[in-house]
Amino acid sequence: MKIPSRIFSFPRFLKILQSLHLPTRPAGGNVKQVRSKTSDPAAHARHTDAVELFGKFYPCDDHTNVTPKILSKVGKSLQNQRNHPLWLLKERIKDHFYTSYLSRHRNPLFSVYDNLSPVVTTEQNFDSLLIPPDHASRRKGDNFYLNQSHMLRAHTSAHQRDLIRAGLNAFLVFGDVYRRDEIDKSHYPVFHQLEGVRLFTKYELFANVQHGEELHLFEKGYRTSCKQESHTLEAVKLLEFDLKQTLNKVVTHLFGKGLDTRWVECYFPFTHPSFEMEIKFQGEWLEVLGCGIMEQQLVNSAGAQDRVGYAFGLGLERLAMILYGIPDIRLFWSEDERFYRQFQVTHIDQKVTFQPFSKYPPLVNDISFWIPHEGYEENDFYDLVRNIGGDLVEKVALIDRFSHPKTGKMSHCYRITYRHTERTLTQEEVNATHRDIERSSVEKLGVEGRF
């Protein structure tokens, strides 16, 4: 998809910037890159790039690293495209929560949000979740920034605090998230998550516990390996039990009984203790979700000081790949009728096993270059390959590192596997794409080619 450009005078640009507001539920595909220009070479502040998303303009700065390839994906909302495998998975999870968790008035306990804007502030994405300013997850090498203050969300957790502040005690958020990542069959820079949050009052948490009226949610003290500061040990253990039970039921609902699962302790900045669930699939343990008890400081900052709670996140593509047998994450973006027809079901619980298309042969080219002493990020190279090769590229693997014994220069060699999901590639078109990657690597990444 080509991103069109428009030209504005700088005063006109400022006026538009001030008058437009980001809609709560943006329409898909409304993405443009904008450049304002001036003939005055001295007024460098007036020569400003900007990105337009959903009718709002974001001036570029030294943080801006979003690419046209990524912008072309924004607003697609695969989780809302009827009979798409991600839509089927979303509907099955919604149905489970709607029928299994009811309020005293027999209404669904969890509310669902599946069309919140993927554009968030860095404060929403990081600070609201207690992620420290120097935390590695904030790196430009891992995220897509519109500018220093706005970005494409790296997780649906970015909406936690705002929804709790709105008075919600139990909710699910489905949406597309964006991360700069490696290139292989299970990683893509745009994927989809489910975020779940549930808060409890003292009465709700201890309702079914003997002498529960004598127990408390909070106590004064210090953090230990078993509990958060201010949470009682009883509250932590009950929250952990309810959380694991909830997620075990979701997985059982999706896959049936007898699935081989395990819990692994881990670390997330805004939950403690934290856990990951792994499923054994084709002989390997695959992480499918992460969860934990929410930091009380986060809950308090959202105005729910009298409650405790937990949060969990599921990667929809990873679950769908296991559930439907989809071998390559790029297929979720396919427009091939042979893909879509397989998910035209009469009921969301209808069993579907993906039938692969005829296998097209891969074409493999290697690329080697000397990397600069400073400023080189592997994810920058992966982004460049994606931007030029698009979905022609199946995998990029770093196969060799070499340090010159005299000069100390470092060389990287990457193996790029080209394979289209819908047709056979020719060596000529692959060579043309590969030459573009070589040329752009030198021009944009400052590497020294060994081609």
Which of these, 147, 127, 148, 149, lies nearest to 137 by C-alpha position? Answer: 127
The amino acid that residue 345 corresponds to is V
Over pLDDT 70: what percentage of the chain? 87
Three-state DSSP state, 26: coil
**pLDDT class for 40, splitting at 50, 70, 90?**
very low
Across residues 412-420, what is the average pLDDT?
95
Across residues 97-122, what is the average pLDDT?
95
User: Is a pLDDT exceeding 60 seen at residue 15?
Assistant: no
Across residues 233-254, what is the average pLDDT?
95
Distance CA 418, CA 423 (A): 12
- Min mean pLDDT across 20-24, 25-29, 112-116 is at 20-24
**pLDDT class for 223, splitting at 50, 70, 90?**
low
Distance CA 373, CA 444 (A): 15
Say how many C-beta atoms besides its own lie within 10 A of residue 212's C-beta.
14
The amino acid that residue 207 corresponds to is A
Are the C-beta atoms of residues 451 and 438 closer than 8 Å to each other?
yes
Burial 31-47 (b: 16+ CB within 10 A, else e): bebbebeeeeeeeeebe
**pLDDT class for 421, splitting at 50, 70, 90?**
confident
> Whole-model pTM?
0.81
* CATH classification (class only), 363-449: alpha beta
The pLDDT tens digits for 387-411 are: 999 989 999 999 999 999 999 999 9
The pLDDT tens digits for 287-299 are: 899 999 999 999 9
Across residues 243-271, what is the average pLDDT?
92
Please state the φ and ψ torsions of residue 72, each to the nearest 5 degrees.
-70, -15
For residue 50, give both structure tokens.
Answer: 């900007």
What is 78-114+155-330's CATH topology? BirA Bifunctional Protein; domain 2 (3.30.930)
Write down the pLDDT at residue 47. Answer: 33
Across residues 87-97, what is the average pLDDT?
97
Which of these, 199, 171, 175, lies nearest to 305 by C-alpha position? Answer: 199
Boundaries of every domain in the chain? 7-71, 78-114+155-330, 363-449
Give the bridge partners for 449, in sequence order.
369
The amino acid that residue 298 corresponds to is L
Distance CA 170, CA 110 (A): 5
